[in-house]
Amino acid sequence: MTISDWFTHARITSGMLRTLDRIGPGGVIVADLYRRDYRATHSQAIAPDQGRTQFIVYGHHDLTHDLRAFRWDYGHRAWEELVAAVDCTAIDCMDDQLDDITATGYVVTRMRQHLRRYHLDLTAVPRYRDKRLRPGSPTATRRTVTDRYAYRAAPSITVTVTSPVDEKTGAYSLITISDRGRHVTGWPARMANQFTAARHAHRVNEAIQAHLARTRT
């Protein structure tokens, strides 16, 4: 039996997606392994280190992005088709997602904790991918995870952090900040331990405050 078998009778419903829409940036749908069901909530309600019992399967950013595409493809049937697609994808990806969560290093979790202290809320499902290390080489890859955050006081400001799943590789992470989809700043970050993660989280906050001072006064 796999974890996804626990969710055979669980469904992501239209009501959950509408609740997600009402919550806005920072809203997420989580799979709860204890309840064996999904629920829509705010990412503030999920401890960053609870990934093995509650984990994000869909977020507000995913909803706004996907809904635009589904409206283009399906017109008035967009919402109905999107609900079915999200429900199907969540269950199909669950086992692989849990494998990725289990393999994710401590530094990624610590960065999520540090950014939350600066009022940055996860607003999308973490995206795991294999990054090709050498052009043209399909075998030389590194597993990465991309987290997307919304800044609580000004949700048009988003932060994206792409990190190696295993920090022991010594590979760089990439941090970018945008406002209304326009690039503000970004930098490579070597986060080998929780202390360097804290420093870069502080730098993210400083960059956001400097940007707000320039653009909101």
What is the spatial order of strands in the sheet that 37-42 belongs to? 37-42, 27-32, 54-59
Give average pLDDT by consecutive 10-residue segment, the chain, 217 residues. 86 97 97 94 84 88 97 95 97 94 92 96 96 66 94 97 90 96 96 90 98 91
- Give the pTM: 0.92
**Positive/negative CA dihedral, 101, 106, 108, 112:** positive
Same domain, 58 and 28: yes
Q: How many CB atoms lie within 10 A of CB 56?
A: 22
pLDDT of residue 186: 98
Domain of 114, in residue numbers: 106-215
Same domain, 177 and 210: yes
Cβ-contact 101, 51 below 8 angstroms = yes
Question: How many Å from the N-terminal Cα to the C-terminal Cα in the chain?
Answer: 57
pLDDT of residue 216: 85
Same domain, 162 and 183: yes
Cβ-contact 132, 41 below 8 angstroms = no
Of 133, 150, 131, 156, nearest to 212 (Cα)?
A: 156
pLDDT of residue 53: 84
Same domain, 116 and 205: yes
The string of DSSP codes covering 159-197 is EEEEEESSGGG-PPEEEEEEETTEEEEEEEE---SHHHH
- Distance from C-alpha of 203 to C-alpha of 190, rounded to nearest angstrom: 13
Same domain, 90 and 55: yes
DSSP state, residue 138: S
Same domain, 92 and 145: no
- Distance from C-alpha of 56 to C-alpha of 81, rounded to nearest angstrom: 21
| Boundary of a domain, candidates 82, 103, 124 | 103
Same domain, 75 and 130: no
Same domain, 98 and 138: no
pLDDT of residue 83: 98
pLDDT of residue 193: 85
Same domain, 98 and 118: no
Same domain, 82 and 113: no
Q: Is 13 exposed, middle or buried (0-12, 13-18, 19+ CB in 10 A)?
A: middle
What letter represents residue 53's amino acid?
T
Overall number of domains in the chain: 2
Q: How many CB atoms lie within 10 A of CB 19?
A: 15
